[in-house]
Homo-oligomer: A and B are copies of this chain.
Amino acid sequence: MITRTTALALDAADPLAKFRELFHIPDPTVIYLDGNSLGMPPKRTLERLTEVYEHDWATGLIRSWEHWLDLPQRVGNALAPLIGAGEGEVVLHDNTTLNVYQAVHGAIGLRPGRRAIAISADDFPTDRYVVDGIAAATGHAVQNDFEDLDDVAVVVRSVIDYRTAALVDVAAETARAHAAGAMVVWDLSHAAGAVEIDLRACGAQLAVGCTYKYLNGGPGAPAWTFVARELHDTIRQPIWGWFATENQFAMAPDFQPRADIARMMLGTPSVLALVAAECGISLSAEAGMKAIHTKGSALTEFAIELCDQLGFSTPTPRDRTRRGNHVAIEHRDAKAIVRELAARNVIFDFREPNIIRAGCSPLTTRFVDVFDGISAIAR
């Protein structure tokens, strides 16, 4: 029988507990189980924004672009080890929607003649909408399963399901797609900063994700694109901007895509947003993905056991190797409950049609938050 004492004991033994002190939490009574939608603010983020405002923008003025120009790649390099990418294989830019658009176009260009794009009808809406938009423009068919990939140019797939937290076997599914001649664009929005993943070891070549969830990059923080080095010479994307061209300030007549990951960039990136993202990423890097994933699994295990005890049903996988760091609790009054609890400072997420989503963000979520939050649903 799980009790609040169980939760407190688990918190006392948690090696990552001290990381919570590195976040700004003005209201200690808040029970926050939505770090999987918007991560809490690191204390260093405001310090760093203030420093960049004062030192770089106000004092350096335009001269600061000398060190801002490669900021998207520098922050990409900070993120790379957290997802098993190599140096120079990740760049932060724009948002996940745009990055999926580019990556899918890039993949299609590398698989001429293939007539379909495969995506699950259950995948996150923006991924599906982007694919539908591309298909409408190019004439590709949209295939809603991953069975027969022989005519598929590119598979677009979330590593972790945004509703159930089901985790795909990235290595196996990448290998199967590649064996069939298809490219794969992985969406790691719910995986980066949450679970251990080694994109290179999995054979992945293209991936995107956001940084505002488990990576604590701030509301609407820039997304990222991973392109395996072997594609840097050949991949093309359709939006030809000045940050992606060789010798940018030559203002040359013709666009010539850079030979590195920066060919995925577009226009002038938001420095303030990048700086905030960098701060969040640095905390996950310091904690280490192994420790983060271990705690995430323990938190979701605890949440699932508590659900069982309280009689809540959940579609979240029981096998910890097959799930991410949130737990979906099914309840016919999910929407009303989430709204009501939020007003009382107990914060979950609601997802259609009947899911209360409990996000377990290992750097900030305590076992006692999970206990108090799920118990509050029961009340």
Contact = CB atoms under 8 A, between A and B. Distances in A.
A188 to B, nearest CB: 15
Nearest to A241: B97
A30 interface: yes
Nearest to A105: B137
Interface string A237-254: 011111101000111111
Contact of A41 (B58, B210, B219): B58
B267 A95 contact: yes
Interface stretch (A59-67, A287-295, A301-309, A320-328): A59-67
Interface residues of A, number: 81
A238 to B, nearest CB: 6
A349 B249 CA distance: 12
Contact of A240 (B129, B223, B276): B129
Interface stretch (A31-39, A146-154, A171-179): A31-39
A26 B271 CA distance: 20
A273 interface: yes
Contacts of A352: 249-251
Contacts of A53: 24, 41, 45-46, 49
Contacts of A134: 238
A92 B98 CA distance: 16
A27 B97 contact: no
Interface in A203-232: 210, 212, 218-223
Contacts of A56: 219
A82 B222 CA distance: 28
Contacts of A98: 94, 98, 239, 241, 266-267
Contacts of A63: 342, 347
Contact of A133 (B41, B54, B65, B239): B239
A313 interface: no
A260 interface: no
A149 to B, nearest CB: 22
Contacts of A212: 268
A2 to B, nearest CB: 26
A9 interface: no
Contacts of A210: 268
B241 A129 contact: yes
A97 B270 contact: no
A344 to B, nearest CB: 12
A239 B57 contact: no
Interface in A333-352: 342, 347, 349, 351-352
Contacts of A312: none
A241 B57 CA distance: 32
A37 B37 CA distance: 35
A22 interface: no
Given A95-B269, A272-B276, 17 more contacts: A24-B53, A25-B58, A46-B50, A46-B53, A63-B342, A94-B266, A95-B267, A101-B238, A121-B253, A125-B252, A129-B242, A130-B241, A132-B255, A220-B268, A220-B272, A223-B267, A272-B273
Pairs A-B, 10 closest by C-beta atoms: A97-B267, A95-B267, A133-B240, A97-B241, A219-B271, A126-B242, A129-B255, A129-B240, A220-B270, A270-B273
20 contacts: A24-B53, A24-B54, A25-B58, A38-B57, A49-B49, A57-B219, A62-B349, A63-B342, A63-B347, A94-B95, A97-B243, A97-B268, A98-B267, A124-B251, A129-B241, A137-B238, A219-B271, A219-B272, A250-B352, A251-B352
